[in-house]
Structures are given as C-alpha cells and as structure tokens.
A and B are shown apart, each in its own frame.
Chain A
Amino acid sequence: MKSLHILLCCFLFSALMNGQEKFLTKQGFTSFFSSSPVEDIKADNNQVLSIIDTSTGAIAISILMKSFMFEKSLMQEHFNENYVESDKYPKAIFKGQIANFKNLGNDEQLVSIHGDITIHGVTKKIETQAKIVRTEENISLTGTFPITVADFKIKIPSVVINNIAETVAVTFELDHTPYKK
C-alpha cells in the first residue's frame, strides 16, 4: 500500500514536470545585423519558437529561416536561396541549458546560457549572457551574441564580400508564457 502511494506521488510529480513547468513562446523575436563599410543589413524574425523546462533549466529554440524579413526583397531571396539554403536547411536550432536556473530570483539578472546552435546544417557550441526576468506567468530572455558567418559554411562570393560583415550580431527577445498541452 505504501509503495502504491509512492508510485502515485511519482506519477503526479512527473506529470507536473511534463505539463505545468514548461514555458513556451511562438512569437519570439530574433534579428541579425550585419554592418559593413558598404551597407548595413538587418533582418527580423517574429515567429521564433522557444521553450524552457523550468524543472531543469533546459531551453530549445527553433527558428524558421524563411521567416526572416529583410528591407529589400531581393536580399531576402538571396539569403534563402544562396546563403543559408532554406530549402535544404529550413531551420536554425538551439539546444541548451540556462545555468543556475533554479536559484533565480524574481528580479532581472544576467544568466549564462550554453549549448549547441545549428545553422545551415553546421552545429557549434556557443555560450552567451542573457538578461532574464522570471515571474509566475512569464519568463523573458533578452540578449545578443555574435556569429561568425564562415563558421557555418555560409559562403559569400567575392563580389559582395565588402557588403556583408564577417561577424553578424544576433539579438533575441523571447517572452515565454506557461505551456499547456
């Protein structure tokens, strides 16, 4: 009988872990910015999916490459067709861990996030700092980190080499709300 109680508790506990303790956003924001002597290029994506498991501090982010909006539609076409090859690699994925997540207070603070980022089929380890605000109903993450284009085997032809920066700044703003199935 006692073992049954424990079993029941375990089920409850794990159900809680799976159901209530995940925070999700479907309208996260990510942008990247490339600054070169010739021109500045910026693209925004308002359809980023991100999920945090609050029991572990694990985080996963999925970004559809075709949802990046550019100022110039030709740039957008080139971005998808020539640089990130969105037909072959439709998504950028991040899979990682927010350090020290359980001990977070309610006020804004800096956390370190580390994990694997996959862009253009190439996976790299990455570590960055982000601002986090955690309340009962919301977990917001904002931050910025650099990405070196060549690391992800994205080739830039010599004709436009002066138009595109070697390192682009990626900004993210992810406002998670509790996820219910």
Chain B
Amino acid sequence: MKNFLIVFAVLAISSPSFSQDLLDILEEETPKTKEYVSSTFKGTRILNGHSIENRKKGILEFVISHRFGRVNLGADELYGLDQSNIRFAFEYGLSDNLMVGIGRSSFEKTYDSFFKYKLLKQSTDKNSFPFAISLFGSAAYRSIDDFEPGNEPSFNERLSYTTQVLIARKFSPGFSLQITPSYIHRNSVKINEDPHGIFAIGIGSRVKLTQRISINGEYHYTVNPLESIDATNSLAFGVDIETGGHVFQIILSNSITMIEKSFITESTDDFFEGDVHLGFNISRAFQFGKHKKKKLKEKEEEDKKSNN
C-alpha cells in the first residue's frame, strides 16, 4: 500500500497538467523579435504640421485641406466660411521609410514639395528604442505676383526651406507625444530686420477617445519671429476621425496656411482673442502594387528552394 502511494504521488507530480503546460512551451518557443510600435499618430499630419507617420510603400494619398476665415467675423461672413484657403497634394510612399509629396496652396499661390524619412522607429522587446525619429525637409515656391513693377523677384528669391526633426513617442495606445524642432530659411525677406533663418520648436499630441476618434493638439513656439508682421505662435486643436481608407481631421487653429514655412512663421491671429479658423484635412489613400503579398510569395519560394 505504501509503495502504491509513493508511485501515485510520483505520477501525480510528474504527469503534467498538459494543456497549460503546452501553452507554456509555446510561450518559451515564441521567437523574441523586435516589434515596432505602429500608429503613433493616425494621419501624416498632427493637425497643421507633419507627424512621424509615413504612408507605406506604394500608397498614394490625395490630401485636401481647407482653412476658413476667422470664426469671429460674424454671421455676415458666415463665421469665416466665406473665405477659404485650400491646399491639395499628392503624397506617396516610395518605401516604407521614405515618403515624398507635392502640393499647391491657394495662399500666395505657393507650390511645395517635401520628403519625410523615418530614421529610427520606436520598438519594444529586444534592443528596444524608446522614440521614433523622422527627418523632414521641404521647399516652397511662392508664385504670387504681388511685387512692385520692375521689382520682380528671381526664382531663388521666391523660395524658402523648412527642415524639421520629428521626435515622437507612443506612451500608451491612447497617448502619443511629438516634439518638433524646426528651422525655416527664407531666400528673401520683406524688410532687413526680418531674419532669414527662423528657429521654432513644436509640440503635438494625440489622445485617443475611441477606436477611431482622437483629440489632437499642436503648438509651435517661434524663437526669432518675423519683424515685418505681428507674428503669433501657431496653435491648433482638432479631432481625428478615421474611417476605412480616410482620415478626416477637423481643426480649430489661429493659422490659415497648411505648409510649415507659413503656419509656423506667418500666423498673425491670436487664438485666445477669438481669431480662430475652422479647417479640415481629408485624405484618401490608394494602394499601388501589392508589395506585402509579393514579399510573402518570394519568401515562400525561397523557403521551398532552401527545403529542396
């Protein structure tokens, strides 16, 4: 009887409670890979300025943005809706890390082009990196003919450039923050006191309310503003609504333009005096090529080859 008890005890200890055990083995066997954090922001813009998000390879996005007149213009101007600035743009993912775009703004008839490159990605697990860092560069060409007769600016004089480093972190699925140091260079300025190069620092964040709706805020502080205008710092609040292939952003801002060199340095309205502009960004994404699929097939074929 004693023997039997011992045998029974040993069996009881050594025979595993199998299904839990099996899952433990699977957990152990799961390859530890680096995982990149995705969807720090939903769109490629926080509101006015760029977020660290890129469109993936082969995705063409058509972006239409509007900023209306000041809400405090009153009913006669339909609270600013009678006036409108528009920018439309085509933005394309050349690779998963590099995105380019061209756009046209009605404000000063400006053409712009930009690139955005993902330098580092935020990751978890093995060798994780806590931030995402992207580089952004753009050139804007002001094509409006508002010069004095005989004083026509040259091609170069119409150009200005923006360089930004976008540093972001998704702290939790519901909260992301981005810091954006910017340097804006103008080839020509209105008066001698205006700086050619302007430094600014921006901060932007996203707070997720539901699966598809988030509230965003964005602020840019200009270190050495233009002197020829009564420049103010750009501030914006907005809502992101995402449906299928669209991201829809409704924005309240004191800026009326949608490209960096403009809204960071040329905003003149005071948000808290009520000089608020309603605006929105709409984007529609189209996919060209089926690269994910292709990669998968190539991989399968390679696997087959290596197996043979």
- Given the known interface contacts A73-B56, A88-B173, A155-B211, the answer about A10 and B11 at a Cβ–Cβ threshold of 8 Å is yes
Of A3, A73, A159, the residue contacting B287 (CB under 8 A) is A73
Which positions in B face A, CB cutoff 8 Å?
2-3, 6-7, 10-11, 14-16, 18-19, 21-23, 25-27, 29-31, 35, 38-39, 56-59, 173, 211-212, 242-245, 285, 287, 290-293, 295-296, 299-300
Q: What are 9 A-B contacts defined by CB distance under 8 Å?
A: A26-B31, A46-B299, A51-B26, A53-B18, A73-B58, A74-B56, A80-B38, A82-B211, A179-B25
The chain A residue sitting closest to B13, CB to CB, is A14
- Known A-B contacts A62-B27, A69-B293; the reply to A2 vs B22 at CB < 8 A is no
**Which of A17-25, A129-137, A142-150 sits within the interface?**
A17-25
Contacts of A96 in B (CB 8 A): 19
13 additional A-B pairs beyond A93-B23, A157-B244, beta carbons within 8 Å, are A6-B7, A18-B14, A22-B22, A46-B300, A51-B22, A60-B26, A61-B26, A71-B290, A71-B292, A82-B242, A155-B211, A157-B243, A159-B243
Given contacts A74-B287, A81-B38, is CB(A44)–CB(B19) below 8 Å? Answer: no
Docked Cα-Cα span, A46 to B303, in Å, equals 11
A contact set with B: CB distance below 8 Å: 2-3, 6-7, 10-11, 14-15, 17-18, 22, 24, 26, 44, 46-47, 49-51, 53, 56, 58-62, 64, 66, 69-74, 76-78, 80-82, 85, 87-88, 93, 95-96, 155, 157, 159-160, 163, 179
Which A residues are CB-close (under 8 A) to B2? 3
Contact B292 A76, beta carbon cutoff 8 Å: yes
CA A49 to CA B28, docked complex, whole Å: 11
Q: Is the CB of A49 within 8 A of B26?
A: yes
Q: A152 CA to B279 CA in the complex, in Å?
A: 38
Q: Which single residue of chain A is at the shortest CB-CB distance from B244?
A: A160
